[in-house]
């Protein structure tokens, strides 16, 4: 698989249809970035003559023969075709896996002339786990075409991403601390919701002329549209970012997110952190243990920093608090903990700073 940067370079090289791939796979869980990457590829393909579009959705009872036919059937009007297959779960099932392997073999066996393939197929998948990426069906598709992984935007890069988006519409924040505060303010308001971030940035373009935006203008225009994922709470804890953690807990509590699910996620992360801490102190390979415990993505970067920062006694205390919170949410009183379990989670976060 390649990153989205490689797709950008590929699109720039497509001066003729002969260079376009017959198959593209998109995988990711960030709707805005996925949509924009696909729109860029679709627009390029359209310029190269792929004007007829067909969309297939894999759901219960889906006829996989439709995919095989899509790669073989000529357009009634002689136009080149763009076919999208969306697999929302990322799990095609046994029959689907076999059909996808056959489809990959069909693509590789087809001769492509100077005018490029008659049909370009784009398969859309959610973010895939390591097991799926090594499956036979995905490996076959990857070999037959170009697989692009659309990564979520890490919180630390969000301010610079926002600045880049503002620049595209001819706007920028003030220089110095004021500008940085403005970018951080926007990031706090839109975190976890890039579609809303895109809309808020566009709104700034409508409200104000090109040029510099003051902190006051930004604060008066930007709405709070952040959405927090339960499992991102543990990322804030591992990073020792108590301010972000508090915002997340406030948001999740206001949305009525089940506390038991958040507590389970936090407890599981503390268990892994404790195991890695013991291995690190004993001179064992932390990287191997992270792989064994299926630690990937942003957490691959966060865990080593947390291991260096968190003291063993504070980690042990955090685990004790989490165990007490588990009893508390089940209705058992604990004099050592805050009366509100949400505040108990804040205590866990403070112990990991």
* Segment 199-228, tens digit of pLDDT: 999 999 999 999 999 999 999 898 877 778
Same domain, 195 and 120: no
Same domain, 140 and 43: yes
Per-residue pLDDT at 319 exceeds 60: yes
Distances (CA, A) of 286 to 51, 86, 319: 51, 37, 20
Structure tokens at 157: 């890069």
pLDDT: is 30 or 285 the higher one?
30
pLDDT at 72: 66
Give percent of the chain with pLDDT exceeding 90. 57
Q: What is the three-class DSSP state of 277? A: helix
Structure tokens at 195: 């579609």
pLDDT at 141: 95
Residue spans of alpha helices (H) in 111-176: 130-133, 136-144, 158-168
pLDDT at 211: 95
Least confident of 65-74, 157-166, 187-196, 268-277: 65-74
* Boundary of a domain, candidates 177, 196, 221: 221
CATH code, 194: 1.10.8.60
Same domain, 169 and 137: no
pLDDT band at 287 (very low <50, low <70, confident <90, very high): confident
Give the whole-angstrom CA distance, residue 92 versus residue 99. 9
Q: What is the three-class DSSP state of 51? A: strand
pLDDT at 345: 94
Number of alpha helices (DSSP H) and beta strands (DSSP E) in the chain: 17, 8
* Boundary of a domain, candidates 193, 221, 249: 221
Same domain, 201 and 84: no
pLDDT at 162: 96
Same domain, 111 and 14: yes
In a domain, residue 252? The reply is: yes
Per-residue pLDDT at 281 exceeds 80: yes
Q: Is 235 within 8 Å of 192 (Cβ atoms)?
A: no
Beta strand 80-86 pairing with 171-173: unpaired
In a domain, residue 295? The reply is: yes
pLDDT at 300: 84
Same domain, 8 and 100: yes
Give the whole-angstrom CA distance, residue 268 versus residue 274. 10
Please give the distance of CA 250 from its chain centroid, rounded to a whole number: 22
Q: 55-113 pLDDT, tens per residue?
A: 999 988 899 988 888 766 555 555 788 999 999 999 999 999 999 999 999 988 876 77
CATH code, 318: 1.20.272.10
In a domain, residue 260? The reply is: yes
Same domain, 329 and 270: yes
Structural domain boundaries enclosing 267: 232-351
Q: Is 162 within 8 Å of 130 (Cβ atoms)?
A: no
Per-residue pLDDT at 158 exceeds 80: yes
* Boundary of a domain, candidates 221, 248, 276: 221
Same domain, 274 and 310: yes
pLDDT band at 334 (very low <50, low <70, confident <90, very high): confident
**Mean pLDDT calculated for residue range 6-23:** 85
Same domain, 16 and 80: yes
Least confident of 5-19, 41-55, 68-82, 123-137: 68-82
Per-residue pLDDT at 134 exceeds 60: yes
Please give the distance of CA 158 from its chain centroid, rounded to a whole number: 13
pLDDT at 184: 94
Same domain, 60 and 138: yes
Same domain, 210 and 236: no
pLDDT at 223: 82
pLDDT at 71: 63
pLDDT band at 33 (very low <50, low <70, confident <90, very high): very high
In a domain, residue 95? The reply is: yes
In a domain, residue 226? The reply is: no
pLDDT at 339: 87
pLDDT: is 299 or 40 the higher one?
40
Same domain, 118 and 196: no
Q: How many domains does the chain have?
A: 3
Distances (CA, A) of 55 to 70, 83, 261, 299, 316: 10, 6, 36, 35, 53
pLDDT at 230: 82
pLDDT at 251: 87
CATH code, 38: 3.40.50.300
Q: Is 169 within 8 Å of 205 (Cβ atoms)?
A: yes
In a domain, residue 227? The reply is: no
On average, the pLDDT of the chain sits at 89
């Amino acid at each position: 698989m390649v990153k989205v940067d490689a797709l950008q370079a590929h699109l720039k090289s497509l001066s003729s249809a002969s260079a376009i791939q017959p198959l593209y796979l998109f995988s990711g869980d960030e709707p805005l970035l996925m949509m924009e990457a696909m729109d860029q590829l679709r627009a390029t393909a359209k310029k190269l003559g792929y004007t007829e579009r067909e969309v297939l959705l894999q759901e219960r009872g889906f006829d996989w023969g439709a995919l095989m036919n899509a790669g073989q059937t000529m357009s009634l009007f002689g136009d080149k075709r763009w076919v999208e297959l969306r697999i929302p779960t990322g799990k095609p099932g046994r029959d689907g896996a076999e059909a996808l392997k056959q489809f990959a073999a069909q693509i590789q066996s087809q001769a492509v002339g100077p005018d490029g393939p008659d049909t370009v197929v784009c398969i859309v998948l959610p973010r895939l786990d390591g097991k799926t990426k090594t499956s036979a069906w995905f490996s076959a598709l990857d070999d037959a075409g170009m697989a692009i992984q659309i990564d979520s935007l890490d919180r630390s890069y969000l301010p610079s991403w926002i600045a880049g988006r503002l620049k595209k519409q001819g706007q920028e924040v003030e220089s110095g601390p004021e500008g940085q505060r403005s970018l951080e303010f926007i990031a706090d308001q839109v975190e976890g919701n890039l579609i809303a971030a895109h809309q808020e940035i566009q709104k700034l373009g409508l409200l104000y002329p090109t040029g510099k935006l003051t902190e006051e203008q930004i604060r008066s225009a930007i709405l709070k549209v952040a959405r927090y994922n339960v499992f991102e709470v543990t990322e804030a804890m591992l990073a020792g970012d108590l301010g972000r953690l508090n915002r997340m807990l406030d948001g999740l509590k206001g949305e009525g997110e089940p506390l038991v699910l958040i507590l389970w996620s936090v407890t599981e992360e503390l268990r892994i952190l404790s195991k890695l801490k013991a291995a690190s102190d004993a001179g064992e390979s932390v990287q191997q243990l992270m792989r064994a415990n299926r630690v990937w993505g942003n957490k691959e970067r966060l865990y080593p920093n947390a291991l260096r920062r968190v003291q063993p006694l504070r980690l042990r205390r955090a685990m004790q608090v989490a165990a007490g919170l588990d009893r508390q949410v089940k209705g058992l009183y604990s004099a050592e903990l805050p009366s509100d379990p949400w505040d108990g989670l804040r205590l866990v976060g403070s112990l990991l700073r």
